[in-house]
Chain A
Amino acid sequence: SAVISQKPSRDICQRGTSLTIQCQVDSQVTMMFWYRQQPGQSLTLIATANQGSEATYESGFVIDKFPISRPNLTFSTLTVSNMSPEDSSIYLCSVARDRAVFGPGTRLTVL
């Protein structure tokens, strides 16, 4: 199965700033997914990112707040823009073939 790495693994950011999270996969995949796991909560899908097209966002998530890039079949970025403390979460990218595989996550704390 695919191996996924994410950068950074964690960060502490100030309110109003933006953070870009990188997701690298060791093989080419068509679809990549970004999830958010708020403290003590389950995972919620933010968006699906296909190479060569705009990301598809789930209800409650918008491109201006969570812009996504997918420049090739092994890489994607998620930016958390104009952050507030409510954005403090673990952000995970995922890919799927016969099953979903998750990256290790980026733990974001917004002060």
Chain B
Amino acid sequence: GNSVTQMEGPVTLSEEAFLTINCTYTATGYPSLFWYVQYPGEGLQLLLKATKADDKGSNKGFEATYRKETTSFHLEKGSVQVSDSAVYFCALSDHNSGYALNFGKGTSLLVTP
């Protein structure tokens, strides 16, 4: 079955540091890949997505590239801000599941001034 593995948190960074959150997946077929973000006290929001191999999703300075050869979708940001403190979830869906999502366990990010 489909599954997502992402790096354990919490991750604590200083403002303007470089961020990488690793995500790898197992899937049959050709899934779409997503990063969702959950800010403190808020609901889940789509951060970025990629629907096929070599696609790069980007939003708010975050990027992730769909790497089929390594089954990975690592999230990166060149310079994090305090406002990026949140929980980040990697997820996948495939057309067979009708876009139901398999989520990773989430990675908590804390950015300090």
Contact = CB atoms under 8 A, between A and B. Distances in A.
A41 interface: yes
A19 interface: no
A102 interface: yes
Contacts, number: 53
B7 to A, nearest CB: 13
A48 B97 CA distance: 9
A105 B44 CA distance: 9
Nearest to A1: B46
A69 B106 CA distance: 30
B73 interface: no
Measured as residues with beta carbon below 8 angstroms from the partner, the interface class of chain A is: 20 to 34
A24 to B, nearest CB: 15
A91 to B, nearest CB: 12
B111 interface: no
A100 B32 CA distance: 11
B43 A99 contact: no
Contact of B98 (A41, A42, A43, A96): A96
B21 to A, nearest CB: 14
B104 interface: yes
B99 interface: yes
